[in-house]
């Protein structure tokens, strides 16, 4: 029986070339698997047909937009996940859902090998292969770009020689990965850290330095940490992200230009656009400030950092990540209410909050009449709180 390879297929140059190359080099049949995560561009039927025209024996296309939003983006939102306090895990979140569909396709089509188009310098090779190892440990992996030094020039020559139905232009200066949660851009002139991004780097966001006129004010409603309405209109998680991509993106919100620490040990300059993600995280964080008890909130911030690192490092399907998911889910029990956001000039600013689950007590917080805080208790509290430090200071200064 002919061996089969399930290939993570994007529809672009590298993975289109990989279909024929894998077949020629290994004698295996290739099943292409494309997953729609809201990245836009071509429709799934066009992508499916291209895979078949490039030599795939089967082409599986999956509309996973709601699945991605509900099961991957939402947990990241509830974790306020920002790798290095800035990056909302745009690409890292997409890899485990693709891996899940690859593993399912391998089982359905009798494949023994999974293929991907990642290089040896990036994080994605880890995310794909560690994920496959967790979901289908018996599958082998092939990575032509990494394992066989498959350069872009070689791919273009291969495509031209065989008249493959793909764009083989050498002019594109960037490597771009995008989905509904955001957009990642790297390589080209961006590899020089002194070069500023030009306007053609961006697609999801307008220039925040331009005059946008009237700010956009909106109200986001959450129910136990889930965005459920915008300006009183019910929305799904996917719809919330899409609407805020449009509205926050129109005000230049969510642009990130950073040097990040890759898992493989090198530093990399990355430019991201994530208007919906940044606006939603901003609102969610503020609602947690209103509804989550102090010590739980302090500990959750530590959990958030570790959760983001695990996802970035390709450990979505790991025991620690699963355990942290349980903690984060528990922390969301009272994160219900509304946040008012003002979108303007590259910033999403909270200017209103309300919640039936609020821990804010006006009578305790006010300095005006009606103050119910017993200030006479504070003197003894301060003395006892500082007593250990005071005793140590007497010893050390003696």
Cite the active site residues: 14, 95, 124, 175
Give dist(CA 363, CA 369) in Å, integer.
Answer: 9
8 is in an annotated binding site: yes
Return d(Cα 150, Cα 227) in angstroms, integer.
43
Q: Is 91 annotated as a binding residue?
A: no
DSSP letters, 39-81, are --SS-HHHHHHHHHHTT-SEEEEEE-HHHHIIIIIHHHHHTT-
SS3 at position 355 = coil
Q: Confirm whether residue 13 is marked as ligand binding.
A: yes
Q: Is 117 annotated as a binding residue?
A: yes
DSSP 8-state symbol, 117? -
Is 213 labelled as part of a ligand binding site? no
Tell me whether residue 260 is annotated as binding: yes
282 annotated as ligand-binding: no
Question: Annotation-wise, does 272 bind a ligand?
Answer: yes
Secondary-structure percent of the chain, ordered helix, strand, coil, rounded to 5? 45, 20, 35
Tokens of 55: 């030599």
To the question of whether residue 10 is assigned a binding role by annotation, the answer is: yes
Is 343 within 8 Å of 216 (Cβ atoms)?
A: yes
What secondary structure does DSSP assign to 226-292, as a single string?
Answer: EEEEETTEE--HHHHHHHHHHHHHTTTTTEEEEEEE-TTS-EEEEEEE-HHHHHHHHHHHHHHHHHS
119 is in an annotated binding site: yes
Q: At what angle do helices 294-312 and 90-109 cross, to 10 degrees?
A: 60
The answer to the question of whether 124 is labelled as a binding residue is yes
- Could you tell me the two tokens for 26? 């290994």
Cβ–Cβ < 8 Å for 287, 280: no
Burial class from Cβ neighbours inside 10 Å (0-12, 13-18, 19+) for residue 27 reads exposed
Provide the β-strand partners of residue 344.
347
16 is in an annotated binding site: yes
Is 12 known to sit in a ligand binding site? yes
187 annotated to a ligand binding site? no
Question: CA–CA separation, 49 vs 13, rounded Å?
Answer: 15
112 is annotated as contributing to ligand binding: no
DSSP assignments along 139-169, one per residue: -EEE-HHHHTT--HHHHHHHHHHTT-SS---
Residue 83 marked ligand-binding: no
Q: Binding-site residues for L-citrulline, please? A: 87, 123, 127, 175, 260, 272
Q: Binding-site residues, please? A: 8-16, 87, 117, 119, 123-124, 127, 175, 260, 272
Q: Binding-site residues for L-aspartate, please? A: 119, 123-124
Q: Binding-site residues for ATP, please? A: 8-16, 117
């Amino acid at each position: 029986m002919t061996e089969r390879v399930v290939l993570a297929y994007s529809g672009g140059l590298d993975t289109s070339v990989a279909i024929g190359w894998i077949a020629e080099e290994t004698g295996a049949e290739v099943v292409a698997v494309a997953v729609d995560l809201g990245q836009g561009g071509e429709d799934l039927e066009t992508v499916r047909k291209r895979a078949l025209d490039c030599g795939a024996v089967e082409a599986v296309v999956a509309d996973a937009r709601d699945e991605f939003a509900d099961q991957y983006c939402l947990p990241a939102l509830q974790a306020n996940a920002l790798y290095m306090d800035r990056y909302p895990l745009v690409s890292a979140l997409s890899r485990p859902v693709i891996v899940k569909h690859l593993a399912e396709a391998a089982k359905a089509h009798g494949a023994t090998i999974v293929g991907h188009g990642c290089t040896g310098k990036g994080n994605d090779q880890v995310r794909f292969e560690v994920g496959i190892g967790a979901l289908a440990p018996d599958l082998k992996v092939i990575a032509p770009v990494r394992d066989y030094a498959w350069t872009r020039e070689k791919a273009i020559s291969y495509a031209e020689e065989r008249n493959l139905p793909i764009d083989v232009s050498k002019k594109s200066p960037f490597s771009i990965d995008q989905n509904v949660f955001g957009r990642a851009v790297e390589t080209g002139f961006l590899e020089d850290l002194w070069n500023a991004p030009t306007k053609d780097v961006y697609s999801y966001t307008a220039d925040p330095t331009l005059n946008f006129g009237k700010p956009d004010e909106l109200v986001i409603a959450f129910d136990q940490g889930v965005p459920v309405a915008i300006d009183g209109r019910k929305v799904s998680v996917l719809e919330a992200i899409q609407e805020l991509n449009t509205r926050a993106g129109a005000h230049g919100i969510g642009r990130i230009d950073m040097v990040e620490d890759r898992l493989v040990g090198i530093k990399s300059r990355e430019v991201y656009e994530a208007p919906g993600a940044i606006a939603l995280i901003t609102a969610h964080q503020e609602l947690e400030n209103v509804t989550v008890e102090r010590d739980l909130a302090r500990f959750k911030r530590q959990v958030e950092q570790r959760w983001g690192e695990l996802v970035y490092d390709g450990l979505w399907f790991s025991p620690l990540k699963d355990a942290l998911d349980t903690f984060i889910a528990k922390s969301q029990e009272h994160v219900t209410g509304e946040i008012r956001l003002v979108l303007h000039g590259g910033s999403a600013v909270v200017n209103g909050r309300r919640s039936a689950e609020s821990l804010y007590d006006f009578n305790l917080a006010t300095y005006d009449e009606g103050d119910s805080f017993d200030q006479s208790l504070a003197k003894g509290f301060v003395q006892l709180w500082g007593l250990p430090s005071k005793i140590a200071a007497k010893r050390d200064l003696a």
